């Protein structure tokens, strides 16, 4: 039982560390975070540009395409949005695992973990609003929330499969 408590504390600490990294990241301007220069160097030959040219959609009222943004900013858009999803996936999963080891009610813990991550996503976007050169987006909160929900659903599925195997 002590080892399980240590493990649950580990995952809760991981969740708080992720939140600290997100807070720090939100306090940086876009220019401080931008990887466009690096991407221009690393992807100077524009791999897959012909295939990517056909992709165009609207995100938060802005066109996302190579034509509208340029190659490096287009690629960076997917990296940044992937980071949103992935970071909140880890945050939701860390909250779920950490809390589930303390309280054995997976569905309740799933809801708490998802709402905690989603609430933090909203606060994070608010923090960005206070930071110069950043744009808070409701769409990013939704993307973050979906990342956290995906982790929670996967955790619930793993628990469900384990229960079925025990029977």
Mean pLDDT of all residues belonging to the chain: 93
Distance, CA of 116 to CA of 98 (rounded, Å): 13
- Per-residue pLDDT for 8 more than 80? yes
Distance, CA of 153 to CA of 120 (rounded, Å): 19
- Spell 111-135 as b/e; 16+ CB within 10 A means b: ebbbbbbbebbeebbebbeebeebe
Per-residue pLDDT of 72-89, as tens digits, reads: 999 999 999 999 999 999
Per-residue pLDDT of 92-132, as tens digits, reads: 999 999 999 888 899 999 999 999 999 999 999 999 999 87
Label residue 160 by pLDDT band (50, 70, 90). very high
Q: What is the largest CA-CA distance in the chain?
A: 57
């Amino acid at each position: 039982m002590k080892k399980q408590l240590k493990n649950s504390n580990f995952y809760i600490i991981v969740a708080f560390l992720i939140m600290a990294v997100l807070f720090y990241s939100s306090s940086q301007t876009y220019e401080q975070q931008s990887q466009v220069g690096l991407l221009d160097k690393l992807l100077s030959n524009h791999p897959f540009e012909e295939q990517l040219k056909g992709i165009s959609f609207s995100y938060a009222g802005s066109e996302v395409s190579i034509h509208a943004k340029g190659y490096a900013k287009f690629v960076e858009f997917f990296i940044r949005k992937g980071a949103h999803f992935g970071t909140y996936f880890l945050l939701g999963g860390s909250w779920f695992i950490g809390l589930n080891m303390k309280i054995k009610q997976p569905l309740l813990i799933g809801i708490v973990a998802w709402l905690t991550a989603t609430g933090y996503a909203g606060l994070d976007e608010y923090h960005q609003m206070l930071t110069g050169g950043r744009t808070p987006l409701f769409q990013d909160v939704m993307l973050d929330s979906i990342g956290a929900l995906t982790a929670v659903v996967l955790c619930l599925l793993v628990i469900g499969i384990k229960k079925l195997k025990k029977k």
